[in-house]
Chain A
Amino acid sequence: MQKPPIAIFALGVFAALSALLPLGYLLIRLSAGIEKALVELLRARTLELLANTLLLTVSVTLTALVIGFAQAWLTTRTNLFGTAFFAVLGTLPLAIPSYVLALAYTSVFPGFNGFFASWITLSLATAPYVFLAVSAALIRSNANQEEVARSLGLSSFQVLRKVTWPQVRPAAMASGLLVALYVLSEFGAVSILRFDTFTRAIYNAYRGSFDRTAAASLAVVLVVLTLIVLYFEKRYRTNYTRIEKQSRQLRINLGGWRWPAAAVLMLPAVGSSILPIAALLGWSLSGDDWDPAEILQALGASLGIAISAGLVIGIFAVAVALWNVRFASKLSSGVELTIWSSHALPAIVVALSLVFFGANLTPAIYQTVWLLIFAYLILFLPNALSVITTPIAQVSTSQEQVARSLGLGKLGAIFKLVLPMSKAGIWAGIALASLAVLKELPATLLLRPNSVDTLATKLWAATETLSYSQAAPYALLLIIIAGVPALVLNAQARKLISEVNVK
């Protein structure tokens, strides 16, 4: 096995150690004051938070499953008109950060907060994940089986229940568990809608007291919940065997039900994108208490931080992908696994542990943009890695061997062949990481230097004082510069829309 260049080794090991840092440091801190932590946890308040978090997680997951499955089935298996249009509508909520959605609703309906508000908002925001996974599974599943079932005398509803659902159940379960992870780590929306889950309680405990034991204890409970969901998610994750696209897919004739079906599909789309965007536009246009200069400044800061963080993340992602693909070893796969392990950690937990770590061990970078970028590296390296690994893996061994035989060394082959060939994928990975940074809220709130305001923190500050017309322009900007590009770059969504189009 070939040894990786030293720079790749160093970057990879640094990234893996960084990924271990949040959880490791949290545990070290807690074990130092275990009695105090136990006292914090054994209060009725913890039980209430647990009940709230579980209730919200379960109800949002089930609702997202129902909405997403209905959207997927109607757009891929029926003769509904305009399926491509509905496919786009179904993915649209991906362009809107959930806290922006929450802000839009609460600004229109003053009493819109608490459990029901959080339930509706998060269900609309997460349904696209189910929609994407299930429709991909539906498109890959073998429609011939459904035709056989029909020929054996089953009605279309029986076919749906007995043949179609079993085929897509693994995909639906996996995406449902992803939604559960999303809800567990969700911070902005539940805070704006004032529903107390662990994330919000962690933030408030952190803000409310100099003793961070309470926040840290709650964070550990949240991590445990996350790990439980993650365990099930790993069990249900499936690799689909690719079935050749069939020339003709069975599409169920909805007949007169086409219009009601279209209306049902329009409802979540209107609720999750059209209504909130209209509301935000309304606030932005009617309000006169926002300052263009301030907005421009926040935009500049946001873009500056996001692009620098994206580039840093991109460099690490390229190094780890090169190591794992071209110089694979046990160590390299261990590094990759470690990096992925931090992916499911709620951002607020990562941020909190970096606050401890930064304040105590690296005061030089605490409350500077460096620690913030370090947090983004831990949080979003997996996002970039998943995009960047594929194109690098597509450079075949024989192409690399030809390059070597033509006189290029190990590094020469990387710089003259592997990187140029995977250029587009690398930029896509950097862009996705930057867009994720733009939308990020909890880590930015906890770790930013006091002098720096980004679009997300400005929006947050304005909502805290209920100044919706001040918050609205930031929300719209976030949708335009972060949400929409992220949706356009989302390979899964693009693939689905093109496949739905082929009849």
Chain B
Amino acid sequence: MTLLSIKNLSVKFGEQEILHDVNLAVENKELLAILGSSGAGKSTLLRLIAGFETPSAGEIWLDGKQVSSSTNLLAPENRGIGIVPQDSALFPHLTVRGNIEFGLLGYDKAQKHARVQELLKLTRMEEFADRKPDQLSGGQAQRVALARALAKKPALVLLDEPFSALDAELREVLRAEVKAVLKAEGATAILVTHDQEEALSLADRVAVMRAGTIIQVGTPTEIYNEPVDLGIATFLGDSVLIEGEVVEDKVHTALGKLTALNHIEPGQKGVVAVRSENFYLQPNPNGDSEVIGRVFFGHDAVVEVQTPSQKIRARSNGPFAPEVGMRVTVWVRGAVNFYPNSARN
């Protein structure tokens, strides 16, 4: 069942159009990630959903009710949408417990206590219940912010780059925890992020945003394997672009005849996007390519190779990565996406 649906939504601040014709549907109990670089309009979209901005055109429907249009705006306090801001925004004058029960307005004492205990347990914050926010670590603060947003069992939870202020290691742990908590609560959530790894690893579905509009929605696998355009292909992961021409059912390139994932027409010219992990470097003293650089990461290595036509970056199994100066033959493994020049702009 569709919980949230956004129809032809646009918003202008002054003359500048921040969002343009956004369409999006979020299913019940789904975790949707909105992925885009900074300035793409992600946070503005969240503020519109939460009811802090009025759209210039279009509509937002929540649970079968229209909540936003250019003439009608349901106040944020009446929407039942929980938010977890980037900076967690805990209330500094209240304890962890006080923060979590802040929104439980109509609850009696016993209900309040039970609900707060439940969330403290779920977020593993029981022993910190009486601490003030300034005595919490960044990760703990975000867990409390999540518990606070979930307390009233909101229809929808919005998370705005909730992990961006944390260091890499903590981020990974917390991501898994947040996902577990959201699933345990049966919550529907929208997570905004600029981190593709975060979006792909965490979400049930990903919506990719660029320049104020949503350009692709799909499961993480779909988004990664079949990016609709070159922009997404290069945005998601390390891709090398190689020029090619369609001859019969193959794309002919300097690195061989490649199979296309998407639909191709003979005679088309364009580029293929090859991810760095899809190259295979075969050591060959007579090979036409030379390794010119290597960055070692332990489990794998990124190898820079000069082919007769261009420089490529390939990911290679760490301990067996070729050394600088070695000659190799470059192969492309698996099928690739082809983007005809006519579709590029």
Quick one: closest B residue to A400, CB to CB? Answer: B89
- Interface code A403-417, partner B: CB below 8 Å = 1, 0 otherwise? 111111100100011
- B82, CB-defined interface residue at 8 Å: yes
Please provide the chain B residues from 55 to 106 with a CB less than 8 Å away from any CB of chain A in the complex: 75-83, 85-87, 89-93, 102-103, 105
Q: A406 contacts which chain B residues (CB < 8 A)?
A: 77, 82, 102-103, 148-149, 151-152
- B52, CB-defined interface residue at 8 Å: yes
CB distance B82 to A398 under 8 Å? no
- B330, CB-defined interface residue at 8 Å: no
Q: B90 contacts which chain A residues (CB < 8 A)?
A: 399
Which residue of the partner chain, among A396, A403, A408, A421, contacts B93 with CB atoms under 8 Å? A421
Which residue of the partner chain, among A399, A402, A416, A420, contacts B149 with CB atoms under 8 Å? A402
Which residue of the partner chain, among A402, A409, A412, A423, contacts B85 with CB atoms under 8 Å? A402
Q: A417 contacts which chain B residues (CB < 8 A)?
A: 91
Q: B274 contacts which chain A residues (CB < 8 A)?
A: none
Question: With A412-B77, A421-B91 in contact, do A407 and B152 touch (Cβ < 8 Å)?
Answer: yes
Quick one: closest B residue to A408, CB to CB? Answer: B77
- A401, CB-defined interface residue at 8 Å: yes
Q: How far is the CA of A284 from the CA of B155 in the complex (A)?
A: 72
Q: How far is the CA of A275 from the CA of B87 in the complex (A)?
A: 53
Tell me the minimal C-beta distance from B111 to chain A in angstroms.
Answer: 15
CB distance B92 to A405 under 8 Å? no
Q: How far is the CA of A299 from the CA of B149 in the complex (A)?
A: 52
Interface centre among B50, B93, B105 (most CB of A within 10 A): B93
CB distance A398 to B89 under 8 Å? yes
Q: A421 contacts which chain B residues (CB < 8 A)?
A: 91-93
Tell me the minimal C-beta distance from A3 to chain B in angstroms.
Answer: 13
CB distance A401 to B83 under 8 Å? yes
Quick one: closest B residue to A422, CB to CB? Answer: B93
Q: How far is the CA of A423 from the CA of B91 in the complex (A)?
A: 13
Tell me the minimal C-beta distance from B217 to chain A in angstroms.
Answer: 25
Tell me the minimal C-beta distance from B139 to chain A in angstroms.
Answer: 18
- Interface code A249-271, partner B: CB below 8 Å = 1, 0 otherwise? 00000000000000000000000
- Interface code B135-164, partner A: CB below 8 Å = 1, 0 otherwise? 000000000010011011010000000000
CB distance B91 to A399 under 8 Å? yes
CB distance A398 to B87 under 8 Å? yes
CB distance B93 to A405 under 8 Å? no
Q: B152 contacts which chain A residues (CB < 8 A)?
A: 406-407
CB distance A407 to B103 under 8 Å? yes
Q: How far is the CA of A404 from the CA of B85 in the complex (A)?
A: 13
Q: How far is the CA of A343 from the CA of B110 in the complex (A)?
A: 52
Q: How far is the CA of A469 from the CA of B149 in the complex (A)?
A: 66
Q: B87 contacts which chain A residues (CB < 8 A)?
A: 396, 398
Q: How far is the CA of A398 from the CA of B43 in the complex (A)?
A: 12
Quick one: closest A residue to B78, CB to CB? Answer: A407
CB distance B85 to A401 under 8 Å? yes
CB distance A398 to B79 under 8 Å? no
Q: B148 contacts which chain A residues (CB < 8 A)?
A: 402, 406
Q: How far is the CA of A409 from the CA of B91 in the complex (A)?
A: 17
Q: A403 contacts which chain B residues (CB < 8 A)?
A: 91, 102-103
Question: With A407-B103, A407-B105, A407-B152 in contact, do A402 and B77 touch (Cβ < 8 Å)?
Answer: no
Q: A408 contacts which chain B residues (CB < 8 A)?
A: 77, 103, 105
Q: B82 contacts which chain A residues (CB < 8 A)?
A: 405-406
Q: How far is the CA of A423 from the CA of B102 in the complex (A)?
A: 18
Q: B52 contacts which chain A residues (CB < 8 A)?
A: 401, 404
Which residue of the partner chain, among B80, B89, B102, contacts A396 with CB atoms under 8 Å? B89
Question: With A405-B50, A405-B149, A407-B103 in contact, do A399 and B89 touch (Cβ < 8 Å)?
Answer: yes
Tell me the minimal C-beta distance from B143 to chain A in angstroms.
Answer: 15
Q: How far is the CA of A398 from the CA of B102 in the complex (A)?
A: 15
Interface centre among A398, A409, A421 (most CB of B within 10 A): A398
Question: With A421-B92, A423-B93 in contact, do A409 and B75 touch (Cβ < 8 Å)?
Answer: yes
Tell me the minimal C-beta distance from B309 to chain A in angstroms.
Answer: 50
Q: How far is the CA of A403 from the CA of B78 in the complex (A)?
A: 12
Q: How far is the CA of A17 from the CA of B61 in the complex (A)?
A: 46
Interface centre among B52, B145, B148, B151 (most CB of A within 10 A): B52
Q: A409 contacts which chain B residues (CB < 8 A)?
A: 75, 77
Interface centre among A401, A406, A408, A420 (most CB of B within 10 A): A406
Tell me the minimal C-beta distance from A409 to chain B in angstroms.
Answer: 5
Q: How far is the CA of A407 from the CA of B107 in the complex (A)?
A: 13
Which residue of the partner chain, among B81, B86, B91, B105, contacts A405 with CB atoms under 8 Å? B81
Quick one: closest B residue to A402, CB to CB? Answer: B89
Tell me the minimal C-beta distance from A143 to chain B in angstroms.
Answer: 31
Q: B85 contacts which chain A residues (CB < 8 A)?
A: 398, 401-402
Q: How far is the CA of A403 from the CA of B151 in the complex (A)?
A: 12
Q: How far is the CA of A404 from the CA of B52 in the complex (A)?
A: 9
CB distance A405 to B83 under 8 Å? yes
Q: B93 contacts which chain A residues (CB < 8 A)?
A: 420-421, 423
Q: How far is the CA of A412 from the CA of B78 in the complex (A)?
A: 13
Q: A420 contacts which chain B residues (CB < 8 A)?
A: 93
Q: How far is the CA of A423 from the CA of B93 in the complex (A)?
A: 9
Q: How far is the CA of A421 from the CA of B99 in the complex (A)?
A: 12
Q: How far is the CA of A401 from the CA of B158 in the complex (A)?
A: 12
Tell me the minimal C-beta distance from A308 to chain B in angstroms.
Answer: 27
Tell me the minimal C-beta distance from A399 to chain B in angstroms.
Answer: 4
Q: How far is the CA of A375 from the CA of B82 in the complex (A)?
A: 47
Q: A399 contacts which chain B residues (CB < 8 A)?
A: 89-91
Please provide the chain A residues from 407 to 465 with a CB less than 8 Å away from any CB of chain B in the complex: 407-409, 412, 416-417, 420-421, 423
Q: How far is the CA of A264 from the CA of B12 in the complex (A)?
A: 64
Tell me the minimal C-beta distance from B281 to chain A in angstroms.
Answer: 48
Q: How far is the CA of A417 from the CA of B93 in the complex (A)?
A: 9
Tell me the minimal C-beta distance from B222 to chain A in angstroms.
Answer: 31
CB distance A402 to B105 under 8 Å? no
Q: A407 contacts which chain B residues (CB < 8 A)?
A: 77-78, 80, 103, 105, 152
Quick one: closest A residue to B104, CB to CB? Answer: A406
CB distance A402 to B75 under 8 Å? no
Q: B76 contacts which chain A residues (CB < 8 A)?
A: 401, 404-405
Interface centre among A396, A405, A421 (most CB of B within 10 A): A405
Q: How far is the CA of A421 from the CA of B50 in the complex (A)?
A: 23
Tell me the minimal C-beta distance from A402 to chain B in angstroms.
Answer: 5
Q: List 19 A-B contacts (CB under 8 A).
A: A398-B87, A398-B89, A401-B83, A402-B83, A402-B148, A402-B149, A404-B76, A405-B76, A405-B79, A405-B82, A405-B103, A405-B149, A406-B77, A406-B82, A406-B152, A408-B77, A409-B77, A421-B93, A423-B93
Footprint of B on A, CB under 8 Å? 396, 398-399, 401-409, 412, 416-417, 420-421, 423
Give me the 3 closest cross-chain CB pairs, A-B, nearest first. A406-B103, A398-B85, A398-B89
Known: A402-B83, A406-B82, A406-B102; 7 extra A-B contacts, CB below 8 A, are A398-B89, A401-B83, A402-B145, A405-B81, A405-B83, A405-B154, A409-B77
